[in-house]
Structure 1
Amino acid sequence: MRYRIAVIGAGQITEGHLMAMNELQDRLKPVAIADIRIDRAEQLSETYGMIAYEDYREMVLREKPDIVVITLPHHLHMEAAIFCAEAGCHILLEKPMALNAKQCDDIMDAVRHNNVRLMVGHTQHFLAENMAAKKFIKNEAKRLGQLVMMNDTRHKAYYNTDRPAWFLDKQRAGGGILFNLGSHSIDRLMWLGNARIVKVRASISHYGPAGDVEGSGVVFLENESGVPSTIVQSGYGGVPRNELELIFTEAMMKVIPGKGVWLSRNGVYEQIPVPREDSPFVLQFRELLASIERECEPECSMDYSRDVIAVLEGIYRSHELKAEVNISTPMLSEELGHI
């Protein structure tokens, strides 16, 4: 079956999805794109042979796509996802899933009530280096020994002039570097650590030149297996860095997306082979299609994606309280819904 697909939002990430559709044109047919800036929608529609709309609701109701890709600012995720689910569309929703766990619950209710599938675009699962690390951890467990800690570091100039203004507005973005890039870090700690995060203790800073979101943070986390982790992120000036180090009882592993995977041997790191993979956008679509056709949850399921949001809420709450926050307590998730 070839699925008719529409896109909501014509921002920076949209073209990655459209290029992936072209690679999967035997399975996906892009039919329409909507953006409140109609000029952006028209530009992409001309390149990829689609109809441009200004109002995504009109587009969904008129075009009746099988799948909708939502690439909107974070505060619009819930409204758009619920609308598309109620229209009977399957959904690929850009991460993070929503602003808080309560909004995630509302999305999940709508998706399940309307018997459609929703996948959140946690691309960490589809990066070649992370996939190679995940496979090595599974297949070489005896060689690695027991996982004892993980350290995730991400430094990136967050206040660059080409970043859309909504990213620096907490009401629209949900938070700053930790909400946006930190969701990637939480995702890969949960995925490669194979366990939910249940405790966090965080300290964040607000020294950015614009907006009201945090520009850095240090987070201590513990998963349900008792394994501790750290997330260290800065959006101020400095040297870009994006790496995860996993420390086992018998070895250490370093993962740098786009560069490689290294394993310790005789006191030094040695690079290990990473198989070539299709683009994360292509792999995401394949996973979503498999979920639709097999009538099962995708790997980046709604429950999993809600867990990421719950951890993010816990990070901000921990900083506010200057105390450790227990993510696993259901009452806490309800309490955090207002943040």
Structure 2
Amino acid sequence: MSKIRVAVIGCGAIATRRHVPEYMINPNVKLVAFVDPVLERAEELASKFNALAFSDYETMLKEVEVDAVSVCTPNILHAPIAIAAANAGAHVLVEKPMATNEADALAMIAAAKTNGVKLMVGQSQRLMPPHVKAKEILDSGRLGKVISFRTSFGHPGPESWSVDGKDSWFFRKDEAIMGAMGDLGVHKSDLMRWLLNDEVADVAAFVGTLDKEGTTVDDNATCLIRMKSGAIGTLVASWTYYRGEDNSTVLWCENGVLKVGTDPDRPVILELRDGTNEDIEAGGISTNKRQLPSFVIDEFVKCIVNDEEPSISGEEGLRSLNVILAAFESQKTGKIIAVN
């Protein structure tokens, strides 16, 4: 088959560090267009791939024949761009959070279905090898049911990652809408739903801006979560882990403890009730400091080539988003919120 013609919309850090390098090495892809309001950024990437550069996505979609797009823009733009791309007949890979509210997410899902294109959300946590291995162990039944858990994702914040540093859109409320919870928390809500084969029933949360100056988006959140199975746990998202990034999960089960990402040299650890311990080799978890393959691009391209529904579909993205939205509602009302 001919190569999939891909346009990347938004040429910031996530595009240059994840999407573009992974498209570049995929034999089924041809990068044909780049879009960024800072035209020079799009032009710089376009020059490397003999592609076209644009400052707005509407013009690009009218002038370039594309089969698929990556939406790597500020959160508020995810929905309008994804819907426009779907209406133009392009498959859509959208960064997380897929949208900033449920109505927009539903509109994205509807646009993809109406136009017969695929919609995938870049929830990379469930594709990382240690998490894949952990799910295999849980699904095997060896540990019995999950009783409680904790999951955490924290780093120093977007200023050390974004191409704009402290001036990044991540800190502008009107463009980001949500902060650490949209950046990191939604990764963890998606991971726990997937690992446990379960849905979140209720959320109680403290969400706030504790240390980042000049912004009102959240930089920390601690959530208490109850799953439909009855398992309870905590979900933490933080932009103020100034020393020691954390992307770890611990699950206390009937027959032992499963630890993932708690030790950089021991990706998956089993501690069984009979007193035996096992270290399971499973590759690494990507961090801001240590960039590893995300596997998101390969999954997206595979779904297009094989005409498969993405495992991280729009519907899956919405379920994970609704957990985050419930956390904000809990902070606002001081109540435990049932997840929609």
Q: TM-score, normalised by structure 2?
A: 0.89
Give the Å deviation of 1:239.
3.6
What is the rounded CA distance, in whole Å, between the counterparts of 2:68 and 2:19 in structure 1?
Answer: 12
Structure 2 runs not aligned, ≥5 long: 287-291
* 2:184 is the alignment partner of 1:181: yes
State the partner residue of 1:313. 325
Distance 1:101 1:119 in 2: 16
Residue matched to 1:334: none
Which of 271, 277, 282 pairs up with 1:274? 282
- Identify the residue that residue 210 of structure 1 maps to in structure 2: 214
CA distance in 2, matches of 1:321, 1:240: 31
Structure 1 residue 40: Cα displacement: 0.7
Cα deviation 1:280-332 (Å, max 9, x = unaligned): 44x3233223433454421001111001111111000001111100013xxxx
Task: Give, in whole Å, the separation in 1 of the partners of 2:122 and 2:29.
Answer: 17
Deviation at 1:217, TM superposition (A): 1.5
Instruction: Give distance in 2, aligned partners of 1:14 and 1:159.
Output: 14
Call closer, same or farther: CA 1:136–1:49 in 2, change over 3 Å. farther
CA distance in 1, matches of 2:158, 2:111: 35
Task: Determine if contact 2:130/2:285 at 8 Å carries over to the other structure.
Answer: no
Size of the alignment, in residue pairs? 324
Give me the whole-angstrom Cα distance separating, in 2, the residues matched to 1:182 and 1:109.
Answer: 25
Shift of 1:196: 1.4
> 1:145-177 deviations in whole A, cap 9, x for unaligned?
211111012232126462553212233212121
Query: Which runs of 5 or more structure 1 residues have no equivalent in the other structure?
Result: 329-339
Q: Do the aligned partners of 1:74 and 1:98 also contact (CA within 8 Å) in 2? A: yes
3-state SS of the aligned residue for 1:144? Answer: coil
Verify the 8 A CA contact 1:155 1:238 in the aligned structure 2: no
From the superposition, tell whether residues 120 and 163 of structure 1 become closer, same or farther in structure 2 (CA, over 3 Å).
farther
Quote how far apart the aligned CAs of 1:96 are: 0.9
Letter in structure 2 aligned against 1:187:
D
Q: Which amino acid aligns with 1:174?
A: I
Where do residues 247-326 of structure 1 align in structure 2 (5 Å cutoff)?
247-256=252-261, 260-265=267-272, 267=275, 270-274=278-282, 280-281=293-294, 283-326=295-338
Q: Report the alpha carbon displacement of residue 268 of structure 1 after superposing the two structures with TM.
A: 7.3
Say if 1:169 and 1:175, in contact at 8 Å, map to a contact too: no
TM-score by length of 1: 0.89
CA change 1:256–1:277 in 2 (3 A) is closer
Percent of pairs with identical residues: 27
Q: Give the 3 Å change call, closer, same or farther, for CA 298–211 of structure 1 in structure 2.
A: same
User: 1:242 matched to which residue of 2?
Assistant: 247
Distance 2:21 2:129 in 1: 18
Q: 1:323 to 1:269 in 2, by over 3 A?
A: farther
Secondary structure, in 3 states, of the residue corresponding to 1:130?
helix
Residue in structure 2 matched with residue 231 of structure 1 by the alignment: 235
Match of 2:126 in 1: 125
CA RMSD of aligned residues (A): 2.2
Contact kept in structure 2, 1:126 and 1:280, CA below 8 Å? no
